[in-house]
Chain A
Amino acid sequence: MRAIFITAIVIFCFLASYFIPLKDAVSQDIKSCLKCHSVKTLTKKLEDGQSLSLYIDGDKFDKSVHGVLDCSSCHPDITLKNHPRPKKIANKMVYTNEFSKHCLNCHPQNTLMKPEIHGIVVKKGDIVCAQCHGSHYIGSIKEWKNKASFNEYCLSCHKFNITKTLPSNEKISLKVNEDEIKKSVHGKFQCIVCHNDFSKANHPIYNYKNKAEYRTKMTAICTKCHTDNDLQKNPAHYALTKTASCIECHGFHGVKPAKVAKALPENQYCLNCHSRAISMKMKNGETLSVQVKESDLMNSVHKKLKCTECHKEFSSTQHPIKSFESVKDYRAMAKDICNNCHQDAVKKYDKSIHAEAFKKGVPEAPDCIKCHDYHKTTLITKDKIASNELCVKCHGKEGEAFKSSIHHNALMQGKKDAPNCSSCHNSHDVLSTNIANLNNSCLKCHKDLKSAHNKWLWNPPVRLTTFVDAHFNSASCAACHTNADKSLSVVLFDRANKKPLTESEVAKLLGIDVKEIKRKIDSNGDGKVQEKELWQFMSMVKAKAKANLAGRIDVSNPNDAHKIEAKTKAVKDCAACHSSGVAFTGKMEINRQGAKPVKFELERSAFNSAYAIPNIKDFYVLGLTKIKILDTLFLLALLAGIAVPIGHITLRILTSPIRRKRREGK
Chain B
Amino acid sequence: MKKVYLHPLPIRIWHWINAIGFIILILTGAQIRFADSMGLMSFETAVDIHSWLGFILLANYFIWLLYYLFTGKLFKIYIPPFWKPVEFIKNSIRQAKYYGYGIMVGDKNPHHPTPEHKFNPMQQISYLIIMVLLIPLQIITGLMLWDPQLFSSLISIIGGIQIASLIHTGLWIFFTAFILVHFYLATLGHTPMAHIKAMFTGYEEEHEEH
Contact = CB atoms under 8 A, between A and B. Distances in A.
A645 B180 CA distance: 8
A645 B33 contact: no
Nearest to A661: B106
A580 B159 CA distance: 24
Nearest to A630: B169
B208 interface: no
A525 interface: no
Best-surrounded residue of A619, A626, A634, A642 (most CB of chain B within 10 A): A634
Nearest to B172: A634
Given A617-B161, A623-B43, A637-B177, A470 B149 contact: yes
A464 B147 contact: yes
Contact of B35 (A575, A630, A638): A575
Interface string A638-659: 1011101100110110010011
Best-surrounded residue of A461, A619, A662 (most CB of chain B within 10 A): A461
A638 B106 contact: no
A574 B50 CA distance: 15
A7 interface: no
Contact of B106 (A578, A612, A649, A663): A663
A289 interface: no
B58 to A, nearest CB: 10
Interface string A616-642: 111110110011001101100110111
Given A616-B162, A641-B178, A659 B47 contact: no
A394 B1 CA distance: 93
A451 interface: no
Interface string B17-35: 0000000000000101111
A470 B43 contact: no
B62 interface: no
Given A459-B51, A466-B147, A575-B43, A618 B178 contact: no
A469 B159 CA distance: 20
Best-surrounded residue of B51, B160, B162 (most CB of chain A within 10 A): B162
A641 B179 contact: yes
Interface string A446-470: 0000000000000111001011011
A580 B150 contact: no
Contact of A613 (B55, B106, B162): B162
A170 B58 CA distance: 89
B165 interface: yes
Given A575-B43, A630-B170, A637-B174, A620 B162 contact: yes
A127 B178 CA distance: 112
Contacts of A620: 161-162, 164-165
A546 B99 CA distance: 50
A470 B147 contact: yes
A613 B166 CA distance: 8
A626 B170 CA distance: 12
A642 B184 CA distance: 9
Contacts of B32: 578, 622-623
B106 A658 contact: yes
Interface in B3-20: none
Interface in A299-320: none
A289 to B, nearest CB: 56
A473 interface: yes
Interface string B84-111: 0000000000000001000111100000
Contacts of A460: 48, 51-52
Contacts of A612: 162
A329 to B, nearest CB: 46
Contact of B103 (A466, A574, A652, A662): A652
Contacts of B150: 464, 466-467
A631 B35 CA distance: 13
B149 A655 contact: no
B177 A641 contact: yes
A581 interface: yes
Contacts of A466: 147, 149-150
Given A464-B150, A618-B160, A579 B51 contact: no
A130 to B, nearest CB: 97
Contacts of B180: 638, 641-642, 644-645
Nearest to A612: B162
Interface in B157-210: 159-166, 169-170, 172-174, 176-181, 183-184
Given A613-B163, A645-B180, A627 B149 contact: no
Contacts of A648: 99, 184
Contacts of B148: 470
B184 A579 contact: no
A14 to B, nearest CB: 136
A644 B35 contact: no
A580 to B, nearest CB: 6
A480 B105 CA distance: 65
B162 A578 contact: no
Contacts of B176: 634, 637-638, 641
A579 B103 contact: no
A634 B173 contact: yes
Nearest to A581: B36
A574 B37 CA distance: 15
B145 interface: yes
B146 interface: yes
Interface of B: 30, 32-37, 42-44, 47-48, 51-52, 55, 99, 103-106, 145-150, 155, 159-166, 169-170, 172-174, 176-181, 183-184
* 10 nearest CB pairs, A to B: A617-B160, A641-B180, A645-B184, A581-B36, A659-B106, A655-B104, A466-B149, A641-B177, A637-B177, A470-B149
Given A637-B173, A641-B177, A641-B178, 8 more contacts: A459-B147, A460-B52, A581-B36, A617-B159, A623-B33, A630-B166, A644-B181, A658-B106
Interface of A: 459-461, 464, 466-467, 469-470, 473, 574-575, 578-581, 612-614, 616-620, 622-623, 626-627, 630-631, 633-634, 637-638, 640-642, 644-645, 648-649, 651-652, 655, 658-659, 662-663
29 contacts: A459-B51, A459-B146, A460-B48, A460-B51, A469-B149, A473-B149, A574-B44, A575-B36, A579-B36, A580-B36, A613-B163, A613-B166, A617-B161, A619-B161, A619-B162, A620-B162, A620-B165, A622-B145, A623-B36, A627-B166, A631-B34, A634-B30, A634-B172, A637-B174, A638-B180, A640-B177, A655-B105, A659-B104, A659-B105
